[in-house]
Amino acid sequence: MTLDDPMGALAFDLLAPLRPGDAIAAGLRWLALRTDLGLVLQCTLDGRPLSIELVPRAAAHGHRVFTEQLAVGHLAGTSVREPSAGEAIAACEAVAAHVATRERDAIARARLGAARPRVRSVAGGRALHDCGDHYALSPYRGCTIGCRFCYAQSRWQPWRALLQPAGDEPWGTWVDACEDAPSCLQRELEQLPPRPIKLCPIVADPYQPIERRLRLTRLCLEVIAAASRPWPTLVLTRSDLVRDDLALLQALPRAWLGVSLPTADDEVRAHFEPRAATVAARVQLLRDAAAAGLRTFAVVQPLLPGPIDALCEALQHAHAGVAIGTLEGEQDAGPLFDAPRYRHARSDDWQRAQAQALRESLARAGVPVWHGELPPECGDP
């Protein structure tokens, strides 16, 4: 079976006849395509790295360059050699000028049609996506755990709306399974410099329900376990399906298992995350993973109502520490925050105060709090 790569096909159609390696404009070269977060062109501008994203106009957020149906913007990177804002905007304009001549036909060809299955097998084309100090790995796009505050939907729902206008596919009802992820990963582990690999819910939980049937996350872990070099590996989840793979994680030379846990109150959890594992299940998972010798961590994002002391106690099993992040927009969760019991939790002030209270409580309990993408020591050789 030949798998589709619908987003990759759209990108190549929009950019045709250009291919990776070609110049889009003087000094601007398109090197590679990233489709795990939508459409991102990894380019260089006079030899300096520059990532340019295309999003549907409906999802434009601070973009300054537009075509008829798309917005074009550059992604902030971590390199000190980044182009200036003016240079980046000029590069976006060059991409937009090329795409504008093709987008109407390319988007019409890419329209998915209303009868597409909710679970699709696709080819992602790549497994590891370079995030500077680590690689992101996600065998799935879309997540049927379907938390309504999930900010991943802001990346994917506008594309679904643009490409499947006849369909009604709310976040949480569909998933694309990148069935080539294990084979791509096997190849990339031989070619790329080792860095930590993070399987985390930026765009999809690695242990959402479809994993029980397809086992793509497991296959990827097996590829990592069999690699000729050791690769630090992190798994972050809101599901306890990861239990099925504890032995596999234990067998990796350096593995971290983390849970996202935004509250210790299971009634609150059921209101905001009805399809995720219960609070008790996630805490028990941390305990069991730590007892099995795995490094454990936790992420609290967003902050949800519930007693801070109980949350702090639950997080004591995250021995490698806790990362805390506030609500990044309500996304589709507005009606959940409308309930009188939860209204206060949508405000930035409450989110910040709750985060501060949790930090102080964790400090008193001796649980480290970390910032950024990786727990301390994970990036160390």
Task: List contacts with ligand SF4 (CB under 6 A).
Answer: 143, 145-147, 150, 152, 201, 204-205, 238, 276
User: Position of tokens 């972050």?
Assistant: 236
Q: Tell the smallest beta-carbon distance from residue 236 to ligand SF4 (Å).
A: 9
Query: Would you say 107 or 304 has its CB closer to ligand SF4?
Result: 304
Burial of 68 (C-beta count, 10 Å sphere; 0-12/13-18/19+): exposed
What is the DSSP code string of 132-148?
SSSEEE-SEES-TT--T
Q: How far is the CB of 146 from ligand SF4 (least distance, A)?
A: 5
Give min distance, CB of 171 to ligand SF4, in A: 7
Closer residue to ligand SF4 in complex, CB, 238/295: 238
Handedness of CA 13, 19, 20, 23 (dihedral sign): negative
The CB-of-91 to ligand SF4 minimum distance in angstroms stands at: 31
Q: Which segments of 119-272 are extended strands (E)?
A: 119-122, 128-130, 135-137, 140-141, 175-178, 197-199, 233-237, 255-260
Structural contact between residues 367 and 318, judged by C-beta atoms closer than 8 angstroms:
yes
- Which amino acid makes up residue 252? L
Nearest alpha-carbon partner for 365 in 311, 312, 301: 312
CB nearer to ligand SF4: give 70 or 261.
261
Indicate the residue type of 45. L
Q: Using alpha carbons, select from 285, 297, 314, 318 the residue that is nearest to residue 374.
A: 297
Identity of the residue, 145 or 223, whose beta carbon is nearer to ligand SF4 in the bound complex: 145
Which residue's CB is nearer to ligand SF4, number 147 or number 324? 147
Annotate 309-337 with DSSP letters as a single string.
HHHHHHGGG-TT-EEE------TT-HHHH
Question: CB of residue 158 vs ligand SF4: minimum separation in angstroms?
Answer: 16
Chain centre distance of CA 1: 27
Minimum distance between the CB of residue 272 and ligand SF4, rounded to whole angstroms? 9
Q: Which is nearer to ligand SF4, 143 or 283 (CB)?
A: 143
CB neighbourhood size of 310 (10 A): 15
Cβ 301 to ligand SF4, closest distance in Å?
A: 8
Q: What is the DSSP letter of 193?
A: P
Shortest Cβ distance from residue 37 to ligand SF4 (Å)? Answer: 13
Nearer to ligand SF4, 51 or 144 (CB): 144
User: Closest by alpha carbon to 174, among 103, 115, 216, 90?
Assistant: 115
Identity of the residue, 289 or 299, whose beta carbon is nearer to ligand SF4 in the bound complex: 299
As a whole number of angstroms, the distance between CA 14 and CA 12 comes to 5
What 3-state DSSP class applies to 151? Answer: coil
| Shortest distance (Å) from residue 250 CB to ligand SF4 | 24
Which is closer to ligand SF4, CB of 144 or CB of 361? 144
Rg of the chain over all Cα atoms, to the nearest angstrom = 21
Structure token pair of residue 72: 């074009």
